[in-house]
Amino acid sequence: MELRGDVAASDFVSSVEVVAPRDEVWDWPAKSSRTLQFDRPQRVWEPKPTPGQSRPYVVATFNLKGGVGKTTTTAALAEILSVEFGKRVLLIDLDPQRNLTTMMVGEKRAAELDSSDHTLASIFIDALMRQPPRSAAGLVQHHVSPMNVVTSVDLLAASPKLIALQDDMTRLTGADPTTVLAKAVSGLLTDYEFVLIDCPPNLGMITQNGLRIADGYLIPTIPDFMSTYGIPPVQSHVRHLASQWSTPITELGVVITKYRRSSAVHQRILDELRENRSLPRLFPTRIPESNQIAAAAEFTDFGSLRQKYGPGGQFLALRELTSDFLATTRIKLAWGR
C-alpha cells in the first residue's frame, strides 16, 4: 500500500488517501484510488466494540504445505516482539501436533495441560456438548517460553484431541462451527497487542476458527517448487472464506524460510515469486536454513535470543523480519486504530 503525503504508519488519525496495489483487490474492491475511512470492521470476537479501546493485531500463520516453518516463524516473532519491542503477545496453537505448545512450555507441561483439560480442545468439546461457551481466559498459560528474557508471551495450548475434534466440528448443528474460538476469546484479546495463531497445514474446521478471528495472515514458504505451488490456492481459499464471512483477512506477505543462498533453485524461485504480481508481497528478509534455528525448538533457556536463534546473522534476520512485520501490520491493518 502506498501512502500519499508524508504520513507515518503510527500517525494515522482519521483518513488518508491510498493507492491500492493490484493484488489487494479484496481489501479495496471498488476503486484503485479512494479516500480510506478507518472504519473498524466489526470482528466476530468483538460483538460490542468500544470506541477508543485498543485492539490487537490478530495474525494467522498459514500454509497448506507442511514443514515450511510456520511454527518456527510464529515462535520467533512472539519472542522477538516481546524482548526486542516490548509487546504483549498471545499465542494460539491450533495444531494438534502442538509443536508451538511444546516449544513454549516443554513436553511434560504440554502433556499435563492436556490431561487436565487446559487446552483449546475444551472449548470445542463444550460446543459439541452444547454447553454455554466458556471464556478461554481460564485456559491461558501466562509467561510462557523457556527463555527468562521473554516476559510477555501467553499461550492458548493445543491438544492432540484437536484431530478428532476437527471432524466432529463439521457435524455441529444449531451454531456456526467457525465461531467457537471467537466466542471463547471475546473479551480476552484486548489484553494483548499481538495475537499470533499457528495453524495446521489444512483448512479444516479448527483452522477456520483461527482464520475467522484473524485480521491478516502470513504465508511462510521454502523457496522451492513444491512449497511455492501451494501459495495461489492458499490465497484463493482465504479470499473465499473472507468473502463468505464478510470480513477482511489481509494478505500480509510471504515469508521465505529455510533459505539457502547457494541454491540455484532457491534463487530462481525467489525471482519468480518477486515477479509474479498476483502473489502477496515478499518480506525482504529471508530466514536462512540453519542448524541453530532448528535447535531453537528445544525447550531450553539459551540465555539470550541471539544465542538461541544464532549469533551468525540468524537472529538478526529474524529481528529484521519482526521489525518489518510490525510496520506491515501497522500499515495494512490500520483500520480504526
Ligand X SMILES: Nc1ncnc2c1ncn2[C@@H]1O[C@H](COP(=O)(O)OP(=O)(O)OP(=O)(O)O)[C@@H](O)[C@H]1O
CA distance 252 to 241: 16
**Triad 121, 329, 99: Cα angle to 5°:** 30
Contacts of 290 (CB under 8 A, 6+ apart): 310, 312, 314
Residues touching Mg ion: how many (CB under 5 A)? 3
Site for ligand X in 220-279 (CB under 6 A): 257-258
* Smallest separation (angstroms) from ligand X to the CB of 331: 26
User: Is 201 one of the binding residues for ligand X (CB under 6 A)?
Assistant: yes
Among 71, 82, 152, 290, binds Mg ion (CB under 5 A): 71
| Closer of 36 and 94 to Mg ion (Cβ) | 94
Interface with ligand X (CB under 6 A), residue from 44, 172, 297, 316: 297
Binding of ligand X by 287 (CB under 6 A): yes
Q: How many CB atoms neighbour CB 330 within 10 A?
A: 15
Query: Amino acid identity of 151?
Result: T
With CB under 6 A as the rule, give the number of residues binding ligand X: 19
Of the candidates 59, 56, 46, the one whose C-alpha atom is nearest the C-alpha of residue 253 is: 59
User: Which partner from the list Mg ion, ligand X, none does 67 bind, CB cut-off 5 to 8 Å by kind?
Assistant: ligand X
Cell of 197: 495463531
Nearest residue to 189 (alpha-carbon basis) of 25, 290, 67, 59? 59
Stretch of 76-84, 95-103, 166-174, 178-186 lying at the interface with Mg ion (CB under 5 A): 95-103
Interaction of residue 73 with Mg ion, rule CB under 5 A: no
Assess 70 for contact with ligand X (CB under 6 A): yes
Q: CB under 6 A: which stretch of 120-128, 238-246, 247-255, 289-297 binds ligand X?
A: 289-297
Please report how the helices 70-85 and 99-115 are oriented relative to each other, as an axis angle in degrees rounded to 10. Answer: 90
Minimum CB distance to ligand X, residue 238 (Å):
16
Looking at the DSSP bridge assignments, the partners of residue 256 are 221
Closest listed residue to residue 191, CA positions, set 153, 217, 224: 153
Residues that bind Mg ion (CB under 5 A): 70-71, 99
Point out which residues bind ligand X (CB under 6 A).
66-72, 95, 97, 99, 201, 257-258, 287, 289-290, 293-294, 297
